[in-house]
Amino acid sequence: MENAVEGLRAFGIRGCGVSMPYKEKIIPLLDEIDPEAAAIGAINTVVNTKGLLKGYNTDVYGVDVAIDKLFVSSHTKAIVVGAGGMSKAIVTAMKKKGIKKITLLLAILGPFILYFFSYKKVIKFFWIVYFIITQKTINFSSI
């Protein structure tokens, strides 16, 4: 991955997108990190400005727009499935919108639990995200 990042500089490539599993691994290879991306701990966009590589996370913006389009109130209860970079971005966007009741499910158990609850209509979901199966424990207290 180091060679790819240096290639951005060497060829003067203006920027690139970053996907899994590199969203977290690329962070130490960049010159600068946007504060929101640093708080999330995941990068999905790299911008090259005259050889200075800066990492951003545009997922928060995307989720923010989706929440607006769904007319979600801050009183909504949300379940986010997963614990990767996208899940952290979703939780960040929800907190920015004032949504306080957020439950995080690891993706290993998530699909079964979501199927059960949606089938029984026990919980009303407004936003369900299934990302990748992960066994990492994420500390969301800093977000």
Which residues are catalytic, by number? 23
List, in sequence order, every residue forming a beta bridge with 47; answer none if it has no partner.
15, 54
Cβ neighbours around 123 below 10 Å, total:
13
82: left (phi over 0), alpha (psi -120 to 50) or beta: left
d(CA 102, CA 100): 6
**Residue 14: what are its φ and ψ, rounded to 5°?**
-70, -30
Helix (H) or strand (E) holding 63: helix 59-69
